[in-house]
Amino acid sequence: MRAKGAAAPAKEDAAPAKGDAAGAGGACAGAGRRPGRPRNEALESAIIESVLDLLEHDVPLAELSIERIAREAGVGKATVYRRWSGKTGLMLDVMRSLEEENPELSGESVRDDLVALLEFLRRRGLAKRNSALMRTVLTQVKAQPELWREYHDTVVQARRDALLAVLRRGIERGELRGDCDIDVLADLFAAPMLSRALFHEWKELPEGLAEQIVDTVLDGVRARP
């Protein structure tokens, strides 16, 4: 469990000048973020950390108000609203803070890029199993349909888009068969890892699993001379 220390209140930035009501830009561009204000990364991190502290100490997501979050972070509500238009946008950045960066892909080898993407899913699955906080946050977010949809449409869909881009490149280069439905093909690669990582948590996620899945699927969909 993350230690909940007696952190000093976050230092608030100066109030916006008249006409600057659009407010702050946040740590990530996304739903609910307010553009235009210079970033204060330390302040934004303190607010996000305060949300994580509250969730880790079993405060239900439904009971998290902007007022309570601001009080926990030692800032005013206006400071939060200058960065996020509401709780949905803030929670998206809270969830992003728990995620690894998507892997860098070389673009030179379809196989290597597929392995990198699936290895990312394997590591994320292990992190979820080993992090009570991540499990708590994901469980609470899934119970909020609007928030879960926003998370899926931004964070999750970005991963699938990366996978689809690799597969399209493989088809264009003649490395993969051109008669495959690309969405089905993406499912064939991702589903075995997601099944183990998310739905069958008693199954192991050993090193080398990404390579095993990729090579097995490629054997059936690789272009033949």
**Predicted confidence (pLDDT) per residue in 75-119, tens digit:** 999 999 999 999 999 999 999 888 888 898 988 899 999 999 999
Summarize the confidence of residues 150-161 as an average pLDDT. 91
Apex CA 215: angle with CA 212 and CA 218, to 5°? 145
CATH assignment of 9-97?
1.10.10.60
Length of the chain: 225
Give the per-residue pLDDT at 124. Answer: 87
Taking only the tens place, the pLDDT of each residue in 10-62 is 555 543 333 333 333 333 344 455 554 556 788 999 999 999 999 988 899 88
Separation of alpha carbons 55 and 67, rounded Å = 15
Q: How confident is the model at residue 6 (pLDDT cuts 50, 70, 90)?
A: very low
Q: pLDDT at residue 69 above 80?
A: yes
Torsion from C-alpha of 138, 113, 188, 148, nearest 10 degrees = 20
**What does the domain layout of the chain look like in residue ranges?**
9-97, 110-221
Burial state string for 2-20 with b = 16 or more CB within 10 A and e = fewer than 16: eeeeeeeebebbeeeeeee
Q: Out of 1-10, 119-128, 160-169, 176-185, which region has the weakest mean confidence (pLDDT)?
A: 1-10
- The domain 110-221 having CATH identifier 3.20.20.70: the answer here is no
- Write down the pLDDT at residue 92: 92
Give the per-residue pLDDT at 199.
Answer: 79
Mean pLDDT of 153-179: 93
Per-residue b or e along 60-98, where b marks 16 or more CB atoms closer than 10 Å to that residue's CB: ebeebebeebbebbbbeeebbbbbbeebbbbbbbbbbbb
Percent above pLDDT 70 for the chain = 82
State the greatest distance between any 2 C-alpha atoms of the chain, in Å, as a whole number.
68
Which of the four pLDDT bands, split at 50, 70 and 90, describes residue 222?
Answer: confident
Give the model's pLDDT for residue 163. Answer: 96
